[in-house]
Amino acid sequence: MVATDQPRSGAHPGLRRRALGAAVVALVGLAAACTAAMPVPVPVPTRPTTGADVSRAPTPTRTPTPIASPRPAATPSPVPSPTFAATIAPIDDALAARMASSWRPGCPVPLADLRYLSLSYHDMTGAVVTGELVVHADVADGVVEVFRALFDAGYPIASMRLVDDFGADDDASMAADNTSAFNCRAVTGGTVWSEHAYGRAIDLNPVENPYVRGSSVAPAAGGAFADRHDAPGVIHGDDVVVRAFAAHGWQWGGYWDRPIDYQHFSVSGR
C-alpha cells in the first residue's frame, strides 16, 4: 500500500465538530474586540432657541384684514342769504276801497299820485317778512332803496301795515308799534296837513322811537325808550337808519328841539 499527503475523505466526525466550535469562538472574540475599539458617541446638548434663531425662522404671512374706505362726509348745502324784494304799484280799485279810512275826497293828494309798496324787512325775531306802505309816487323809488339799505343792515321793524288796518287812527297804529306812511290827517295838535297826508313822511317803529313833548310821550309804551338807550329798533343820530334816509333826501325828526319825533322821517323836514 502506497502512502500519500492527501487527507482522507473519511475523517472522524468528532474532529469536525471541535474544529467548528473553535472557529465560532474565534469569531465572537474578534467581534467583541472590534466593539471595544469603537468610540462611544457623546450626546450633543440641545441649544435653547434664541431671538436670533426666531428671526431666522420664516414668519408666516397673515392675510391683512381689508379696511373699508371712509365715506366722504356730506357737504352741507350753503344756506342762501335772504334777499330783499320790493314792488311798486298804482292804487287800484280794490286797494282804494281798502284805504277808505285814510283817504277821502278833499285830501291834498289824489289817489293817482300815490303808490303802493310791498317791501321785505326783518322783524324783531330776525325773520324775513313782507310789509306794505303807501307813499307819494315821486318818492317811491327812493323809499324802496331806503328799505333795501335797512334790510341789508339787518335793522329790525316790528310791523309794517297800512294805517287803514287801524281805522286810520294814528294813536292805535303807534301803540301797535306799526311803521306807516300815508294818512290823510292834520299835524299832531294842529290843523294843517301833515306830511303824511302827502305820502311824504314815514313813522318808523313808534314804540322804540316815540314822539316826545316835554314829559308827554306817545305812544305810552314809548316811555321805556325816552332815555334813548340802545336796543333793537332804536334810532340814533347818524346811525344806519338816519344815513339811509338822508341819502335819499329825507330828514329825521329826532334832530328837532321841541317836540322831538324820533319815529318821524320826511322829505320837507316838517
The model's pLDDT over 19-30, given as tens digits with 9 standing for 90+, comes to 445 544 444 454
Cell (9 digits) for 206: 313808534
Number of domains in the chain: 1
DSSP, collapsed to helix, strand or coil, labels residue 71 as coil
Q: Is residue 79 part of a domain?
A: no
Q: Is residue 72 part of a domain?
A: no
pLDDT at 172 over 70: yes
Q: Is residue 226 part of a domain?
A: yes
Peptide bond into 219 cis (omega under 30): yes
Q: Is residue 70 part of a domain?
A: no
In this predicted structure, which of 115-124, 185-194, 200-209 has the lowest mean pLDDT?
A: 185-194
The model's pLDDT over 79-125, given as tens digits with 9 standing for 90+, comes to 778 999 999 999 999 999 999 999 999 999 999 999 999 999 999 99
- Full residue range of the structural domain in which residue 182 is found: 86-266
Closest CA relative to residue 203, chosen from 134, 115, 119: 134
pTM value? 0.72
Quickly count helices (H) and strands (E) in the chain: 6, 9
Measure the CA–CA gap between 255 and 115, rounded to whole angstroms.
28
Q: Is residue 198 part of a domain?
A: yes
The pLDDT confidence band at residue 259, using thresholds 50, 70 and 90, is very high
Residue corresponding to grid cell 314792488: 87
pLDDT at 43 over 70: no
Q: Is residue 81 part of a domain?
A: no
Q: Is residue 80 part of a domain?
A: no
pLDDT at 222: 98
pLDDT at 69: 66
CA 36 to chain centre: 100
173, 101 in Cβ contact below 8 A? no
Q: Is residue 77 part of a domain?
A: no
What residues have CB less than 8 Å from 90, skipping those under 6 apart? 112, 114, 115, 116
